[in-house]
Amino acid sequence: MSEVFQAFTEMMQSRSRATLSYRPQANGQQERSVKTVMQSIKVYVEDPLQQDWDEIVERLVFAINTSLDTTRKETPFYLVHGWDAHSTLQAMTTSLRRGTGKQSDALMWCREVNRQQEIAFEMAKQYQATEKARRGREHNEALSRRERAAVPQSPEGATSATHESTANDESEPATRSLFEPGSRVWLYMERVKPGLTKKLAHRWHGPFRVKRKVEEYAYELELPDRSGYRLYPIVHVSRLKAVSEFGDRPRTRLAPDVTEDSRFDLDEELLPEDSWEPDGLAGESEVLEILDDRMPMSTRTGRSIREFKIKWADQDEPTWEPMSNLSCGGMLYDYLQRKKREHRLQMVQVADED
């Protein structure tokens, strides 16, 4: 270790530990960074053969490095280089200052480092105190009734704790079902087809409907005939995850009750005529169905544009059209969602294919 880095660790009051070479498990921070990158890539990978991840990884890594870290309150790019990254938009809209003295820049940088060091120390103390209080609270809540009675407390605190524990024991049911029949859940499928990477494969599939509860930790799912999934319908609860449904509609009235006297007599004939004219009157054809899509090979001079095979209402033969020529937003959205589910299904290796 160099003397400069030793002095830096002493200034930051940190301790350096050496890790084994070619063993990332020994470096938890690096493992967490790799996990964040893999999760981001998995969201944008669309090719079922996982061959398009290298086209988006560079932009994703730049987005992660320029995002604000919640712990350090700075971006990773700034912590490594000492200045903020300039995007293409910032480079086009702002002008860099020229002729500034190096001595003044170094002094400002040292002051900023000292300020960030004081903030980091103060935040570390607050985080440690909060974490200790949280762990102590969770430990006390996990104690049994006998263990709580053995803990020395004040008379008022012991009486209130006893009443609260008794009330909670009486109010909580003996067994509570995790999923109700008819609720939607995601199903975790571990196995993928040979040749594909598990890190980039989508292993949460569905959603499926819960048919019934078989045992305490097993549920039976409804498998549609056209879903394409061939699996045993009874699965363990560890492979299920509830779908985040929309909440109930608000029932609070923002206005008082409307009476007959407060109603306004509105005649529809007095309203002005609608001036909107649909755009489809200029000789445009109606889209009946989206049959297929393709991505032409990109060249060095142009970027490939995704095309869709469209079946028109007034034409016998379908044609290939770019997305900019389509005006069927809802139909296009449904088609893309269906293709995404098919791509995820192609990554799965079910037991019947063994």
In the listed set 95, 125, 158, which residue is the last one of a domain according to the structure? Answer: 95
Spatial separation of the C-alpha atoms in residues 115 and 113, rounded to whole Å = 5
343, part of any domain: yes
Total structural domains within the chain: 3
pLDDT tens digits, residue range 127-159? 888 888 888 888 777 776 766 666 666 554 544
pLDDT at residue 99 tops 50: no
**Contact assessment for residue 172 and residue 166, using Cβ atoms and an 8 Å cutoff:** no
In the listed set 57, 78, 95, which residue is the last one of a domain according to the structure? Answer: 95
**CATH code, domain with 322:** 2.40.50
pLDDT tens digits, residue range 168-197? 544 444 445 678 888 899 988 877 777 777
117, part of any domain: no
pLDDT tens digits, residue range 13-71? 777 777 776 676 677 667 777 788 888 877 777 666 667 777 777 888 888 888 887 77
Question: Do 231 and 290 sit in the same domain of this protein?
Answer: no
Mean per-residue pLDDT, 302-325? 83
Spatial separation of the C-alpha atoms in residues 219 and 179, rounded to whole Å = 8
- List the single range of 100-114, 167-181, 209-223 with lowest mean pLDDT: 167-181
Between vectors from CA 347 to CA 346 and to CA 352, what angle results, nearest 5°? 75
334, part of any domain: yes
Sheet strands side by side (includes 287-294): 287-294, 307-312, 319-322
Q: How many residues does the chain have?
A: 354
348, part of any domain: yes
pLDDT tens digits, residue range 55-86? 777 888 888 888 887 777 788 888 888 888 87
Question: Do 8 and 85 sit in the same domain of this protein?
Answer: yes
Cα atoms found within 13 Å of the Cα of residue 166, Cβ hemisphere only? 7
Question: Do 290 and 212 sit in the same domain of this protein?
Answer: no
73, part of any domain: yes
64, part of any domain: yes
83, part of any domain: yes
For the chain, the first-to-last Cα distance in angstroms comes to 52
In the listed set 95, 115, 138, which residue is the last one of a domain according to the structure? Answer: 95
Which domain range does residue 203 map to? 184-242
